[in-house]
Amino acid sequence: MNDTQVSQVPRGRSLALLLAPLAVGGLIAVGLGVYGRVHLATGYAVGPAGFSGPLAMKSWLTTGAFLLALVQLLSALVMWGRIKLDAPWIGPLHRWSGRAAFLLTVPVAFHCLYALGAQFDTPRVMTHSLLGCFFYGVFAAKMMALPRRGLPGWALPVLGGLAFTALTGLWLTSSLWFFTTIGVTL
């Protein structure tokens, strides 16, 4: 979207276009948190095929998602003109790296919610639980905002930046913790 398209929509209307995506994202985040808190954790959800255990599986999949999120960040900077690069392939790279990153998070989130639930017993785990809910909420808001025309020019970069920040926090509170506490194992 260019500046001309943004300026054609009145300011109040352009902000109103964000309300539905933000509301749905907020409902998803809160819904996941409530489900994770009231659901009776099973202790088991996803078989860690090819991994030594569920923590290793979650750590490596989250690391893959985090690396793809770095690709997302760099490709977004190119798309928004912050990094000058003539790369007609950057849009497809951005879309496909985002899809792959999201898909890597799904078994991790499923295991976290179904097997463990949202936990608040230690600061690291509480932060991780809250960031997980926030990540899926902001991701949903961004996906809903993408096809909307007339959004403020800052909306998609802010939503994308929030998703990146949440995923970075998830990686720091899970994978980095695992690799530095348990060790680098498959």
pLDDT at 2 over 60: no
Q: What is the mean pLDDT of the chain?
A: 89
Give the residue, 13 or 113, on which the prediction is more confident.
113
Predicted local confidence at residue 8, as pLDDT: 60
For residue range 65-83, list pLDDT tens digits in order: 999 999 999 999 999 889 9
- Regarding pTM above 0.75, the answer is yes
Q: What is the mean pLDDT of residues 33-40?
A: 90
For residue range 95-143, list pLDDT tens digits in order: 999 999 999 999 999 988 888 888 888 999 999 999 999 999 999 999 9
* Backbone torsions φ then ψ of 120, nearest 5 degrees: -130, 25
For residue range 142-173, list pLDDT tens digits in order: 999 998 888 998 999 999 999 999 999 999 99
Predicted local confidence at residue 54, as pLDDT: 86
Predicted local confidence at residue 159, as pLDDT: 96
Predicted local confidence at residue 9, as pLDDT: 54
**Residue 52: CA count within 13 A, CB half-sphere:** 10
Contact 98, 45 (CB under 8 A): no
